[in-house]
Amino acid sequence: MNPQAVPGLQHRTVLLQEAVEALAIDGARADGVFVDGTFGRGGHSRLILDRLGPKGRLIAFDKDPLAIATAQQIADPRFAIVHDSFATLGEALAARGVQQVDGILLDLGISSPQVDDAARGFSFRLDGPLDMRMDTTRGMSAAEWLATESEQTIGKVIRDYGEERFAFQIAKAIVARRAVGPISSTRQLAEIVAHAVKTREKGKDPATRTFQAIRIYINKELEELEVALEAALEKLGPQGRLAVISFHSLEDRIVKRFMASRANAPQPDRRLPIRAADLPQPVLKLLAKMKPSAAEVSANPRARSAIMRVAERTSVSLSSKP
């Protein structure tokens, strides 16, 4: 779907130029294979295609049926879209005969059109059905989950994925409310949270953390990120680039730890008789950490929390990784 087709559903791709530059699509690499793990509305993908050579390939992923509809409008033989999570990139690339890639971009979180479409249920500012699924063709909606899950589990999810200090008070209020009738709209949930949260940071809606937590849990965002990072490492060829854009601390923490652990090989006890050539070597090289410029944040306030981390695959075999 073209975001311009629905009033208000505009999307600004965050760190557009910077992310594509990080993939280093130039020289012989321009005829390589690249992956856009989250097509969204195609900002990164279209710029990657502009940089690719005639023999280059771009394989994009997305779970959102509307993103898939937009991607299918791209009539370029170098481009392919996969209607699935980037967590499946290992299997999806293998199924297409791709054993090695030159660059992978993962743009995490949700897009502006998803947030701004009340029917998707992501926003506490718009009243709509309490869905929150990125892929509306499969899985359990937020409303269905809240109707059946235990109070303890709801509280744990809101605490762990939303870092919400009033998580268990909110969970108790949800369970009490559903005993009266189903919680089926975003406005209902936002009102329940507002009554349960007694204090909140200035300028922040009480429902922010709860909506974030439920969305992350329903879509298995953190679990899929961990799987995708491992798959990316397996598929990247020597000097292949991995660029990941995160929008909140939980995502960024996973990315930071993953990259750092693969870039810093543990050193054995110096007293052991091990040759320098036999010492464990890192499989990633850290290249950059970047945030949007002040000008970009001014033009697109939703970019303010974005962090991009970039790493490069070394020539060390994974079979010899620590």
* Residue 86 annotated as part of some ligand binding site: yes
* Residue 278 annotated as part of some ligand binding site: no
Cα 185 off chain centre by: 25
| 243 Cβ neighbours under 8 A, 6+ residues apart | 19, 22, 23, 103, 104, 105, 106, 308, 309, 310
| 238 Cβ neighbours under 8 A, 6+ residues apart | 313, 314, 315
Using CB atoms within 10 Å of the CB of residue 28, give its burial: 0 to 12 exposed, 13 to 18 middle, 19+ buried.
Answer: exposed
Instruction: Report whether 183 contacts 146 (CB < 8 A).
Output: yes
DSSP bridge pairs for 83: 62
* Residue 84 annotated as part of some ligand binding site: no
Which of 107, 87, 64 is CA-nearest to residue 310? 107
* Residue 122 annotated as part of some ligand binding site: no
Dig out the tokens for 109 from the structure: 């979180």
CA-to-CA distance for 223 and 131, rounded, in angstroms? 20
* Residue 131 annotated as part of some ligand binding site: no
* Residue 44 annotated as part of some ligand binding site: yes
CA-to-CA distance for 121 and 184, rounded, in angstroms? 10
CA-to-CA distance for 252 and 266, rounded, in angstroms? 22
CA-to-CA distance for 286 and 261, rounded, in angstroms? 10
Cα–Cα separations (whole angstroms), residue 221 to 20, 132, 250, 278 = 23, 12, 10, 38
Phi first, then psi: give them for residue 208, nearest 5 degrees: -55, -55
* Residue 248 annotated as part of some ligand binding site: no
Binding site residues, as ranges?
42-44, 62, 86, 107, 114
Binding site residues for S-adenosyl-L-methionine, as ranges?
42-44, 62, 86, 107, 114
